[in-house]
Amino acid sequence: MVMEQILPEEIVYQRPESLVEVSTHYCPGCTHGVAHRLIAEVIDEMGIRDRMIGVASVGCSVFAYNYFDFDWVQAPHGRAPAMATGIKRVLPDRFVVTYQGDGDMASIGMAEVVHAAARGENITVFFINNANYGMTGGQMAPTTLPGQRTTSSPGGRDVETAGYPIRAAELLATLEGASYVVRRSLHDPKNIRLAKKAIRTALEVQAQGMGFSMVELLSICPTNWGMTPVDSLHWLEEHMVPYYPLGDYKVAPMVAQIRI
Amino acid sequence: MPVQGRIVVSDLYCKGCELCVAACPQHVLQLSPDRLTAKGYHPAELAGPGCTGCGICAVVCPEAAITVYRQKMPTRKAAEA
Ligand SMILES: Cc1ncc(C[n+]2csc(CCOP(=O)(O)OP(=O)(O)O)c2C)c(N)n1
Ligand code: SF4
Ligand code: SF4
Ligand code: SF4
Ligand SMILES: [Mg+2]
């Protein structure tokens, strides 16, 4: 197109430097990718890449260490907050973050995250809630909605036998040691922008030594939900957001002073 | 004249998920009907003129596959001079 060559252009958006230049293994449309992108953008903007240490978990995001261009370790299933605790205590000048799915954090790893929050560890947890165990084939997770069909609840989650979904942000917000606990969603541009702001705030909390921070991100799993990516975003908005309301569940008074 | 922009989609990263196509407020994106990436996906591309460089497609893209360019607007002063 001729016009574009005549007038000078500026770059409005380009891939963040904190992402490695490789294609991911995530399914098309999977919003794990959006979460990765936002975290990388914030790290670029804060200029903290050389001080980052990520703790990958078990789930589809187990290979996160291949995609972010900084140091990572990989924790046994659910144990990322315990591993992050050790790393942060030994290397307090680093930014230590975990990246965990709902099966990882809210099921097998519930004890680790609760106690890390209760201790007020100065770490940041990124919690990707896609309402199922994505990696292993879409089984029911603690976060699966009542009535939601999964490969291990083919008739829909029956709360009589399988209990009710756990709202992790609300639960962690009750703990004194938690300084910043919020839930955001990745289903549209406005909410994606709000999610990025929350990621930034959480890392500022850690920068200022204010204690435990957790950002829950509602995310889609088109493959196991059996929907197109676009339909999955609608399903998330219609079904997940009402059960998992977006908002700030714990903002300690000192955190409220942070201006970004 | 509305602001003009353009996007470049990387064939290395794009998986043809269509999230950008659905999100573009100008409806100027499509999945290429005839091109395939090395992984076998139909990549997103501009279907015609009308891109404003708003960047919304890049905000929703899970693969960070999109670079967005926008024409620099002459400042009002420069335009009036
Ligand atoms: C100790 C142990 N138990 C079970 C598994 C099998 N496993 C692998 S991933 C996973 C659940 C992952 O779900 P989630 O954390 O929600 O991540 P997602 O893939 O949905 O992003 C399970 C149970 C394992 N790898 N290790
Ligand atoms: S299985 Fe689900 S969570 Fe895992 S990469 Fe595919 S869409 Fe994403
Ligand atoms: S920059 Fe805006 S107008 Fe241009 S293709 Fe992307 S979403 Fe559409
Ligand atoms: S959102 Fe990204 S990966 Fe999906 S079709 Fe558009 S450019 Fe390709
Ligand atoms: Mg999951």
What's the CA gap between A150 and A220, in Å, rounded?
14
Please tell me which of the candidates A27, A29, A37 has its beta carbon nearest to residue B64: A37
Ligand 2, atom 6: nearest CA belongs to which residue?
A27
Whether residue A219 contacts residue A186, with contact meaning beta carbons closer than 8 Å, is answered with yes
Q: Check residue A3 and give its pLDDT.
A: 52
What's the CA gap between A179 and A165, in Å, rounded?
24
A-chain residue closest to B51, CA distance? A4
Domain annotation covers residue A27: no
What's the CA gap between A225 and A231, in Å, rounded?
10
Chain B residue numbers with beta carbons less than 8 Å from the beta carbon of A24 are: 63
The b/e string for A74-86 (b: 16+ C-beta within 10 A; e otherwise) is ebebbbbbbbbbe
The answer on pLDDT for A106 being more than 60 is yes
Q: Which of B61, B74, B54 is nearest to B18 (CA)?
A: B61
Asked if B68 has any chain A CB less than 8 Å from its own CB, the reply is: yes
The answer on pLDDT for B36 being more than 70 is yes
Domain annotation covers residue A17: no
What chain B holds in terms of domains, given with CATH numbers, is: 5-80 (3.30.70.3270)
What's the CA gap between A83 and B36, in Å, rounded?
42
What's the CA gap between A73 and A75, in Å, rounded?
7
Name every protein residue with a CB atom under 6 angstroms from any ligand 2 atom. Answer: A 26-27, 30, 32, 60, 130, 134-135, 221-224
Strands A247-251 and A178-185: what pairing?
A: antiparallel
B-chain residue closest to A233, CA distance? B19
Query: Which pTM was predicted?
Result: 0.96
Asked if B36 has any chain A CB less than 8 Å from its own CB, the reply is: no
Domain annotation covers residue A90: yes
Q: Check residue A47 and give its pLDDT.
A: 98
- Report residue B78's pLDDT band, with 50, 70 and 90 as the boundaries: low
Asked if A33 has any chain B CB less than 8 Å from its own CB, the reply is: yes
Whether residue A221 contacts residue A132, with contact meaning beta carbons closer than 8 Å, is answered with yes
- Give the structural domain span for A93: 32-256
Q: Which of A199, A250, A227 is nearest to A34 (CA)?
A: A199
Asked if A223 has any chain B CB less than 8 Å from its own CB, the reply is: no
Structure tokens at B36: 């395939």
Domain annotation covers residue A238: yes
CATH of the domain at A144: 3.40.50.970
The interface predicted TM-score (ipTM) is 0.94
E-strand spans in B10-48?
A: 29-31, 44-46
Q: Check residue A110 and give its pLDDT.
A: 98
Query: CB neighbours (10 Å) of residue A23?
Result: 18
Q: What is the mean pLDDT of chain B?
A: 92
Domain annotation covers residue A224: yes
Chain A residue numbers with beta carbons less than 8 Å from the beta carbon of B69 are: 4, 9-12
pLDDT tens readout for residues A190-243: 999 999 999 999 999 999 999 999 999 999 999 999 999 999 999 999 999 999
Helix, strand or coil for residue B11? coil
How deeply is A161 buried, as exposed, middle or buried, from its count of CB atoms within 10 A (0-12, 13-18, 19+)? exposed
Whether residue A76 contacts residue A112, with contact meaning beta carbons closer than 8 Å, is answered with no
Domain annotation covers residue A2: no
Count the domains in chain A: 1
Whole-number Cα distances in Å, A120 to A76, A172, A173, A204, B1 = 22, 11, 12, 15, 54
Please judge whether A14 and B68 are an interchain contact, meaning their C-beta atoms are less than 8 angstroms apart: yes
* Rounded mean pLDDT, A124-143: 98
- Report residue B75's pLDDT band, with 50, 70 and 90 as the boundaries: low
How far from the centroid of its chain's Cα atoms is residue A233's Cα? 16
What is the A148 CA–ligand 3 centroid distance (Å)?
35
User: Which single residue is written with the structure tokens 């891939």?
Assistant: A15
Domain annotation covers residue A6: no
Q: Check residue B2 and give its pLDDT.
A: 80
Domain annotation covers residue A214: yes
